[in-house]
């Protein structure tokens, strides 16, 4: 690194694709209270606070891969002496002949906190001067002049924060579009129809589903609900989606699919227990030739199978949620079915508006209605005219076996 860049008035570092620090300038090393040689070869997590480590893992690196650059990202570094340093980060991916690297410009923004503190102090001084009435007029005037100046600085900070809010909203909207992109299209075959409904409680959702035709006679249907809502849950669902789509299309058994998803979550949080998320899920394979439904339910609300003769079955959980702890084994179950029935998989947000017991009676009372009518009846039941506040994501998959 040349001397001019090494002593630039801002931090600079180069990362590998895996987040390993390849180089760091003296400015950033001084900011972190240590020598630059000490940081080389360490992971970026070594200079981040815990919340920033999660953000980098699930947002920073995926967005870099998607767009190739990031501008004005707010984060927090952790110095050698334990000081938390608020910074803005600009980053860009450099594609070399053999590999790719990430160049980062890091600008400390301690000044914002200092200005806010000074403003509060100026206001306190002005109030004391007014109450005590012992200060001279010129001193009081000077205090108000100081307050006015600090208010102008605060206005500038407010405008900057508004800019951050707008940019964050745009980034959340982009993430929402990315999350919705992988959701599968409806399947309409002679012997099976599958469709879905999906609505997030916030910009991003912790629910995700998928259904795929494995071969001429077998169809895989899965639905998952990651603990919590918002960005962290949504990033985990995106991580799980690419995995379950691949293993489902390879025809893995239902218990093996759950085991692979469980291994993935445990590996993801192996070195960061504080960030651990668990996930409830149910996965089914419908064999339209043998008329069999094989399923594994990992802590998820029971799927409902409504036969044409009126009999109803609940596919209850017989396994704990995935990602709970390592070494889990999963059991699969199977039921036979007769044609002409409905199969419903759903998340907590679908059952909550009217209680856990409204879905079964709703399907049973309308079991001879056409497929699209049945789907709309379930959707209408999710919008009751009550004081219920929707705080959970809503997602269901409906299948008709004909």
Residues 160 and 251 in one domain: no
Per-residue model confidence as pLDDT tens digits over 232-244: 777 787 888 889 9
73 with 207, same domain: the answer is no
Clarify whether residues 82 and 24 are in a common domain.
Answer: yes
Q: 104 and 48 in one domain?
A: yes
Predicted pLDDT at 355:
59
- Residue 36 pLDDT > 90: no
pLDDT in tens, 317-366: 999 999 988 889 999 999 999 999 999 999 988 886 665 578 999 999 99
Considering 129, 150, 176, which residue would you say is the last residue of a domain? 176
Higher pLDDT, 380 or 158: 380
DSSP codes of every residue in 185-252: PPEE-SSEEEEEEEE-SSSS-SEEEEEEE-SSSEEEEEEEEESS-HHHHHHHHHHHHHHHHHHHHTT-
**369-392 pLDDT per residue, tens:** 999 999 999 999 887 654 444 556
Q: 186-231: per-residue pLDDT in tens?
A: 999 999 999 999 887 665 667 889 999 999 999 999 999 988 666 7
User: What is the Cα–Cα distance from 260 to 222, expressed in whole angstroms?
Assistant: 14
290 and 339 housed in the same domain: yes
DSSP state of 324: S
Co-location of 40 and 97 in the same domain = yes
Task: Verify that 204 and 103 share a domain, yes or no.
Answer: no
Do both 16 and 84 map to the same domain?
Answer: yes
CA distance 274 to 262: 17
Do 154 and 56 lie in one domain? The reply is no
CA-wise closest residue to 46 among 58, 34, 63: 34
CATH number at residue 13: 3.30.450.20
CB crowding 92-125: b at 16 or more within 10 Å, else e = ebeeeeeeebbbbbbebeeebeeeeeebeebeeb
Q: For residue 228, give the CATH number of its domain.
A: 3.60.40.10
Per-residue pLDDT, averaged over 265-270, amounts to 84
Q: Which domain holds residue 130?
A: 111-176
Specify the range with the lowest mean pLDDT, choosing from 66-80, 152-166, 250-264, 376-390.
376-390
pLDDT of residue 331: 96
372 and 256, same structural domain?
A: yes
Last residue of a domain, one of 138, 158, 176: 176
Q: What pLDDT is stored for residue 386 in this prediction?
A: 46
The rounded percent of the chain whose pLDDT value lies above 90 is 56
- Higher-pLDDT residue of 348, 111: 348
Angstrom distance (rounded) from CA 159 to CA 157: 5
pLDDT, the chain, mean:
86
State the Cα–Cα distance between residues 327 and 263, nearest whole angstrom: 9
Query: Is 315 within 8 Å of 297 (Cβ atoms)?
Result: yes
Q: Which residues are registered as beta bridge partners of 399?
A: 194, 343
Query: Quick one: which H or E segment has residue 171?
Result: helix 137-180
Strand partners, 315: 303
Q: Which residue has the higher pLDDT, 315 or 138?
A: 315
- Measure Cα distances from 180 to 173, 185, 302 in Å: 11, 11, 25
Same domain, 199 and 277: yes
* Burial category of 387 from C-beta neighbours within 10 Å (exposed 0-12, middle 13-18, buried 19 and up): exposed
End-of-domain residue from the set 81, 108, 135? 108
- Residue 370's φ and ψ, nearest 5 degrees, are -60, 160
283: CB partners within 8 A, 6+ apart:
220, 221, 222, 244, 248, 254, 257, 258, 295, 296
Whether residues 147 and 232 share a domain: the answer is: no
The domain total for the chain is 3
The Cα–Cα gap between 250 and 252 comes to: 6
């Amino acid at each position: 690194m040349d001397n001019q860049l090494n002593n630039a008035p801002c931090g600079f570092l180069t990362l590998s694709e895996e987040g390993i620090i390849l180089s760091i300038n003296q400015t950033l090393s001084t900011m972190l209270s240590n020598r630059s040689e000490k940081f080389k070869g360490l992971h970026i997590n070594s200079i981040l606070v815990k919340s920033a480590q999660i953000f980098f893992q699930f947002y920073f690196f995926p967005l870099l891969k998607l767009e190739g650059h990031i501008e004005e990202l707010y984060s927090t570094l952790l110095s050698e002496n334990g000081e938390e340093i608020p910074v803005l980060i600009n980053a860009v991916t450099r594609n070399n002949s053999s590999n790719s690297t990430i160049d980062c410009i890091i600008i400390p923004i301690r000044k914002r906190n200092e200005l806010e503190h000074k403003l509060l102090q100026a206001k306190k001084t002005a109030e004391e001067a007014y109450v005590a009435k012992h200060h001279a007029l010129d001193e009081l005037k000077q205090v108000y002049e100081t307050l006015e100046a600090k208010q102008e600085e605060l206005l500038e900070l407010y405008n900057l924060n508004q800019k951050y809010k707008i940019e964050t909203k745009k980034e959340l909207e982009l993430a929402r579009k990315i999350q919705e992109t992988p959701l599968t299209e409806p399947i309409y075959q002679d012997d099976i129809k599958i469709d879905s409904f999906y609505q997030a409680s916030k910009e991003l959702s912790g629910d995700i589903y998928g259904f795929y035709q494995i071969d001429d006679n077998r169809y895989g249907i899965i639905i998952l609900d990651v603990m919590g809502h918002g960005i962290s849950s949504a990033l985990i669902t995106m991580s799980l989606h690419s995995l379950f789509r691949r293993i489902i299309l390879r025809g893995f058994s239902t218990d093996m699919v759950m085991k692979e998803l469980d291994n993935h979550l445990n590996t993801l949080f192996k070195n960061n227990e504080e960030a651990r998320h668990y996930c409830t899920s149910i996965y089914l394979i419908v064999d339209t030739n043998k008329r069999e439904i094989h399923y594994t339910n990992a802590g998820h609300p029971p799927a409902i199978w409504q036969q044409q003769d009126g009999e109803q079955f609940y596919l209850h959980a017989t396994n704990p949620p995935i990602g709970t702890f390592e070494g889990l084994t999963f059991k699969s179950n199977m039921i036979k079915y007769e044609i002409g029935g409905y199969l419903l998989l759903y998340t907590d947000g679908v059952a909550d508006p009217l209680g856990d017991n409204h879905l079964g009676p709703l399907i049973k009372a309308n079991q001879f209605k056409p497929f699209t009518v049945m789907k709309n009846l379930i959707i209408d039941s999710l919008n009751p005219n009550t004081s219920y506040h929707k705080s959970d994501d809503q997602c269901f998959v409906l299948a008709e076996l004909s």
